[in-house]
Amino acid sequence: MNKIRATLIATVLTLPTLATVNAATAPICKELTNAAGSNIVGFIDPVLCNTDPSIKQLVNSNQFPDVSYLGLCYVSRGAINVLWGTKELTVKTASAWTDSSSTFGVPVIFPPTNPPSLYGVGYIGTVATQWAISDNEGKDLGVIYTRDTINLGENLATAGSEDDVVIGGSKLFEGAKGTIKLRSVQLQSGSVEVGTLGGKLCINSQEQNKN
């Protein structure tokens, strides 16, 4: 009997505690900020949707069944440098409108005018975005996907803001959650200058262990 009791005690002691299990599965959340010393995150340029390979990748990802080649799409000009906690990342974005954005016509973000005029006849556009992420050594860490709704009636010549909701991802960012906040200014060229980037990005700790 004593032998059985000792074996049971030894077995119980080797089992992981609830706290250990919770720690292993708890999400890892870190703040997103501009890279150190950077006042401008980067630039986003308009492109023809059906000619850009990153937009085709976004459409073919099957993350957004309602995404389309409607109007102009938008891609980052080269890589954007950001900090996730203290980890430096480089990001390339590709954005397209969803089908619901065409309710009142083709969505377009017009260059600012002086005096300011209404953009896109004052309707709402929904944007799907793919964020391809690498570390500062160029290692591919995966992709995250976000959705955002933009009021195209705003005058973006002064400043516009976005709250992009993270709906998923791949590799390190599989099952990712969070919000990416952008503050931007529309340029006469039709491009967008992203001044600040913030928000919070959470990943599954088990995915980090794989990577």
Parse the chain into domains and list their residue ranges: 33-210
Instruction: Name, in order, each residue with C-beta under 8 angstroms of 137's C-beta and a sequence gap of 6 or more.
Output: none
Tokens of 107: 């969505």
Q: Strand locations in the chain, DSSP E?
A: 27-34, 42-48, 72-76, 80-84, 87-97, 124-135, 140-151, 160-169, 177-186, 192-204
Residue 157 has pLDDT above 80, yes or no: no
Task: Name the helix (H) or strand (E) containing 14.
Answer: helix 2-14
pLDDT(170) > 70 = yes
The first and second tokens of residue 193, run together, are 């200058």
**pLDDT score of 66:** 87
pTM passes above 0.85: no
Tell me what the mean pLDDT of segment 155-161 comes to.
Answer: 61
